[in-house]
Amino acid sequence: MILEIVSPEATLLKTDVDLISVPGINGEFQMLNNHAPIVSLLVKGLIKFKGENVNIDEQYESKFLNNKGEYTLPIKSGTIEMKENKVIILTD
pTM: 0.93
Question: What average pLDDT score do residues 29-53 get?
Answer: 95
Amino acid 73: pLDDT: 97
Cα 30 from Cα 47, distance rounded (Å): 10
pLDDT at 92 over 90: no
Whole-number percent of the chain with pLDDT over 90:
93
pLDDT at 8 over 90: yes
CATH of 2-91, one of 2.60.15.10, 1.10.3720.10, 3.40.50.300, 2.40.50.100: 2.60.15.10
CA 90 to chain centre: 9
Question: What average pLDDT score do residues 37-57 get?
Answer: 95
Amino acid 10: pLDDT: 94
Cα 9 from Cα 29, distance rounded (Å): 26
Q: Are 72 and 47 in contact (CB under 8 A)?
A: yes
